[in-house]
Structure formats: structure tokens, C-alpha cells
Amino acid sequence: MNDFITNFADIFDETPLNLFDAKTNFKDLGEWSSLHGLATINMVELKYNVQLKASDLVKANTIQDLIDLIYSRK
């Protein structure tokens, strides 16, 4: 789980690391944009070999939602 949070936080340039935990609603982060969504899909494919879709991100709210999604697809 920590591994995913670190990889997810790495997509962001300005958001402090301490704002990222499993409960974080990532869409509420000021830096979040559609490009971060694309980067998340790319990172998940590269690091976890799981193909997410944009619609998956629309449904997810927290980082834990993303982790659950990845585990369910592995």
C-alpha cells in the first residue's frame, strides 16, 4: 500500500507528501488535473501491469479506492 501511495504522490510536483494517505480524496488536491489522471493510468500500467480506464478514475475518490481497484484486477 505504501508503495502505491509513494508512486501516486510522485506524479505530483507541488503537493506536500504528508497530504497523501489511503484516505486522501485525490480529486480534492488543488494540483489534481486531467493530466494527473492520465499519469495515474500510465503509472499503474507500468508499475502494476494493470490497465485502468478514465471511467475507473471517475468512480474512484480516495487513494484506497485506487488500491482496491488494482488488487481486484491483478
Any alpha helices (H) in 1-74, and if so which ranges? 2-9, 34-48, 54-59, 63-73
With CB under 8 A as the contact rule, the residue among 13, 16, 23, 59 that binds another protein is 13
31 binds another protein (CB under 8 A): yes
Task: Find the binder of another protein among 3, 6, 25, 42 (CB under 8 A).
Answer: 42
- The cell numbers describing 52, all together, are 485502468
Cβ nearer to another protein, comparing 19 with 64: 19
Chain-centre distance for alpha carbon 61:
9
- Contact between 49 and another protein per CB under 8 A: no
List the one residue from 2, 18, 34, 55 that touches another protein (CB under 8 A).
Answer: 34
Q: Is the torsion defined by CA of 41, 50, 67, 19 positive or negative?
A: negative
Specify whether the CB–CB gap between 14 and 20 falls below 8 A.
no
Contacts to another protein by CB under 8 A: 10-11, 13, 31, 33-36, 38-39, 41-42, 46, 54
